[in-house]
Each structure stands twice: as C-alpha cells, then as structure tokens.
Amino acid sequence: MIMKAKAVKLGNNVDTDVILPGKYLALTAPAELKNHAMEGISPGFASKFAEGAIVVAGENFGQGSSREHAPIALKAAGVKCVVAESFARIFYRNAINIGLPAVECPGVSTHITDGDQLSVDIERGEIKNLRTGETFNTETIPTNLLQVLNDGGIIEHLKKKRTHR
C-alpha cells in the first residue's frame, strides 16, 4: 500500500475538536462531514485536496474526545494518510478502523514542509519526501491492523473474515 500526495503540515496536539468541531457530531454521512474537516484552522480544507493529501503532524495528533467522526471527516476530505510523531491512542485505532492509515514517525515533522510531495509505503514503513529526497523509517503497523487497512476498515474486514469461514 503506497500513497502519494502533497503534505498538509499541522502542529502538535491537534485535537478532535479541531479536526471536526463538536457541533457537527449529529452528521453521519462522510460527504457532509468532509465539509467541516479542519474548519477552525483551514476553512474549505476538503476543497483544497481534490487529488488527495497526506497530513503530517507533530506529537499527540487526535487527542481529546474519542469520536470516530474525526478520521471519517479527514478520509472523506481526501486525506490518504496521517503521518504524525505520535497519536492519541483512540484516534489511532479509530483511523485504522475506518480504513485511514495512521503512521507514526518520530521527528518527521521537522523535515517536511507544507506542500512537499510525499510517498508513504505503509507495508515497508517508509516515507519519502520527493522534493528533498529524504527517506524516513516509520513505526511498523502490526500485521493484523495492516489487514484491516487492506480490507478497507474494520467492517469490511469482519465481513471478509465471516465469508471465509
């Protein structure tokens, strides 16, 4: 699973209220949620990434409320992957469960600027900054979670497992 897209750089401690403000939690359709992704810090976030984006953040990405709306909104907005120095545990698992790759790579945010073209190889655990030529090794995603991602999220993964019994 290799993804290529432009980097959207964010800072440390980006919480779920920033990713998707709480006033939109009554919405459930991804097409509606995407319109409010990152609304407080980047109005029109989804409209900027028709060809996709890779979010690059600092430490503790996704802290705060444990709402799966946040990764759903990012994925619907065109985010192909989130690369962060560290993740809040619940956000990380919610992202994997909805099929949004979340890759941990300590120190990466200091080497990537907004708009850099990136390539992220989930299975090899490698990020390449195509502008600078730098390569970064990531924490590997456990095999069972890679399977969930490859199947498109936990629901599709469980359906697949059920039909293969």
The pLDDT tens digits of the residues spanning 28-79 come to 999 999 999 998 788 778 888 778 999 999 999 999 887 899 999 999 999 9
Percent of the chain with pLDDT over 90: 81
Q: How many domains does the chain have?
A: 1
In 3D space, the residue among 19, 37, 118, 43 whose CA is nearest the CA of residue 77 turns out to be: 37
- Mean residue pLDDT across the chain: 92
Could you give the percent of the chain with pLDDT greater than 70?
Answer: 99
Range of 133's domain? 2-163
Q: What pLDDT, in 10s, does the model give residues 142-161?
A: 999 999 999 999 999 999 88
Measured CA to CA, the distance from residue 26 to residue 8 in angstroms comes to 27
CATH number at residue 68: 3.20.19.10
E-assigned strand segments in the chain: 2-9, 53-57, 79-84, 102-104, 117-121, 126-129, 135-137
Q: Would you say residue 118 has pLDDT above 90?
A: yes
Flag whether the pTM goes above 0.75.
yes
